[in-house]
Structure 1
Amino acid sequence: MPDLAGIIQQEIAGNGPITFARFMEQALYHPELGYYTSPGAKIGRAGDFYTAPTVNPLFGAMLARRIDQMWVASGRPEQWVVAEYGPGTGILARDIATALQNNHPDLYDVLTYYLIEISSALKKVQQEILWNSPADNDKFCWIDRLAEIGPGHIANGCVLANELVDAFPVHLVRQEGNDLQELYVGLCGDDDDCNSSSVFSLVAGPLSTPELAEYFSMQNIRLENGQQAEVNLQARQWLAEVAGHLKHGYLITIDYGATSRELYAAHRFNGTLRCFYKHRLVDNPLVNVGGQDITAHVNFSTLITWGKQLGLQDIELATQPQFLLNMGILDILQKQPDYTSNPEFNKITSAIKQLVLPGGMGDIFKVLVQQCSFSS
């Protein structure tokens, strides 16, 4: 089988330049060779990046508190679903379920936890972690799509997405005078702007869909001349899927990003697209195809606007530190021994600092909570 770069080369050679969204989709999600679908560690010390759940179980425990609040506000229904998109290694699912088991047993008794995962390699990792966790094995179910939970709507529950939306394929655009152009991925030689370290180059052309222009019009945003930006149209498709299957419940989206005014400000002249390889930031998304993570900041303004169009009402938008503080993460310290020589105490205080203090992981992360409630 040819390598992934070769497969994409063949596609471009046969059909012409492709949108960056198509390139990113292949690079991350090709069935056998994509970054997320191929074997190998992606998250943690042995991978390419860290996520909040890998820091300490406290992150999952605080989410468990919020989910319990949602269950209580919904009238303590006799069945409650948590459906997590892109559950990574399964650590967050383990920590949430364990915290519910220990601290919120009434909710735990009626809980079914679904993991929405398309990667067979990641499913194996998740199963190994969860089947060896304190939570009961029968609490966890694996599905490929939200629709598989059952016919019709999810009656009561919470959909969770931690660092999911930033990995959706994005279109690249650039403002050229009065025109908004799209940047396509072509082969070196298709354009003068060719990086010798890659067989691919970015080629400017007309917009592949009018939705790209509508995206900026909807937000009353105009880019500076020459400014480059990303557009995540798949986020709306995903919100529609959630809204279409959640009758009564909540959606929690945790990711790094900003509002549209911040995201497309002039100081972000080159956009927010970034790549990670072995915990190093890589500038060029066109190299190491399938071997590095590619992400872009999430536009929380459009998640809110599109959500309202689809029947999802925003009830909370906070930075990750604000969210964790509101959930009482500092209360954990009061339950610890009053001395700092205890290694476990030091581990907990270090984790809290990493999650909530400036300079830690929480600086650019946001937590958006949306609620959906449709009458029968």
Structure 2
Amino acid sequence: MNPLVEKLREIIKIKGPITFKDFMQMALYYPGLGYYTSPGEKIGPRGDFYTSSDVHPLFGTMLARQFYQMWEYLGKPQSWALVEWGAGKGLLALHILEALGTSFPLAWTGLHYYIIEASPEMIKKQKELLTSFPQEKLSWVNNLSEAGDNGHIKGIIFGNELVDAFPVHRVRQTNSGLKEIYVNWDEGRLVEVEGELSTPLLEEYFQTFGIKLVPGQTAEVNLAAREWLREVATKLEQGFVLLIDYGMESPELYHPSRMEGTLRCYRQHRLNNNPLNNVGQQDITAHVDFSALTHWGREAGLLPVGYTTQMDFLLNLGILEAIPRSKPEYVFDAKATHTVMAVKKLLLPEGMGRVFKVLAFAKGVRKPDLLGFVKRKN
């Protein structure tokens, strides 16, 4: 038997059915056995899924441009922190650091880059990839309390495809009210069962955002994102939060056309919707509710200062102008062609352009006009 499934069976035998949130937490993060904590390639062509940083370095270059402007809004501090939460293989960190070091030397001088990463395997890959940068510029920390000046952060906290990996509750609307989906053990396998809500916050969530599920509709609720934003708001003394993820606002996310919710599993670049199979051996994810993130951020003391699609964000930052041109232009250039194709994947609606959104918050900064959210003039 799968050792992680055996662990789950033991826990369920003692405690009874567990929430899907607790199951997902174990499936992704159980020490040594969870998807993100076990050995093996997860991201990229030999893994299970792609991220934007796998597509082309220009993604990180554009983020560096935005971070530089944020640094200017902070008053060009001589010492500042850039905190990446969930850095994957470290590719995005590599591209951001290269761009800051090459194009923005004034900001680079006082920069300290922190990585918060739950996966020991990913930390190993990140350290191998980032060896060329000065040791004093980089730190791996367990939480925000270890970053910045004794946990007081002046700078930027950001995550690319971070929130979608937080464990979610799953609920289903029934004729007798909202029920929660639990994971149980029955006849030698993991199964889903319905039960009463494990927390009143689930009912409150739908009331807050004016959402009424139709009978039979299943949905996900990411309450962990609320706690995360509260922690971030507490530790961020002055600066910005930038989140890039796939998702939408509440009315679209919980529309009746999504009767089965948005929970997805990825294994070897194949999509399925059964999280109880291949436990610990496949990624589990759900679309992000950006209405909830905006509301919870404001509730925690963060000021929303930008929300747009990844396509518009990158266009506003000048990604098209950053594509290298062949010289002379009528001569075929394989590198330039590859870049154009990669940028299309980042931008086009049928690729990552529209399903991915970008949300920014500020704290202790006058309301800024951030480049990524201001339409460029032709």
For the aligned pair, the TM-score class normalised by the smaller chain equals over 0.9
1:301 paired with 2:299, answer no
Matched, 1:164 2:162: yes
The alpha-carbon distance between structure 1 residues 14 and 237, as it changes in their structure 2 partners (threshold 3 A), is same
Give the corresponding residue for 2:87. Answer: 87
Matches within 5 A, 1:140-179: 140-150=138-148, 153-179=151-177
| TM-score, normalised relative to structure 1 | 0.94
CA distance in 1, matches of 2:196, 2:308: 37
Deviations 1:125-177 (A, max 9, x none): 00000114xx4343111001111115555342000111010010000100012
Partner residue, 1:50: 50
Query: What amino acid maps onto 1:261 in structure 2?
Result: P
SS at match of 1:33: coil
Q: CA offset at residue 333 of structure 1?
A: 3.1
Note the 1:208-357 alignment, pairs <5 A.
208-333=198-323, 336-337=326-327, 338-339=329-330, 341-357=332-348
Alpha-carbon distance between aligned partners in 2 of 1:358 and 1:368, rounded to the nearest angstrom:
18
Once the two structures are TM-superposed, the CA of residue 265 in structure 1 deviates from its matched residue by: 0.4
Q: Which amino acid aligns with 1:158?
A: I
Deviation of 1:73 (Å): 1.3
* Large movers: runs of 4+ above 6 Å: none
2:181 counterpart SS class: strand
CA displacement, residues 324-374 of structure 1 (integer Å, 9 cap, x when unaligned): 001000111365532451111111111111110122122300000111128
Aligned mates of 1:344, 1:80 — CA distance in 2: 35
Q: Percent identity?
A: 48
Distance 1:339 1:156, change over 3 A: farther
Paired residue secondary structure (2:257): helix
Q: Is the 8 A contact 1:152 1:245 kept in 2?
A: no
AA of the residue aligned to 2:247:
G
Shift in CA distance, 144/102, structure 1 to aligned 2, threshold 3 Å: same
Say what the alpha-carbon RMSD is for the aligned residues: 1.7
Q: What is the TM-score of this pair, normalised by structure 2?
A: 0.93
The 2-side partners of 1:116 and 1:153 are apart by 13
- Counting only pairs closer than 5 Å after superposition, residues 37-186 of structure 1 correspond to structure 2 as 37-132=37-132, 135-150=133-148, 153-186=151-184
AA aligned opposite 1:45:
P
Equivalences, count? 365
Gaps of 5+ in 2: 367-378
Q: CA deviation at 1:188?
A: 2.4
Deviations 1:88-146 (A, max 9, x none): 000000000000011111111111000001222111100000114xx434311100111
Q: CA deviation at 1:178?
A: 4.7
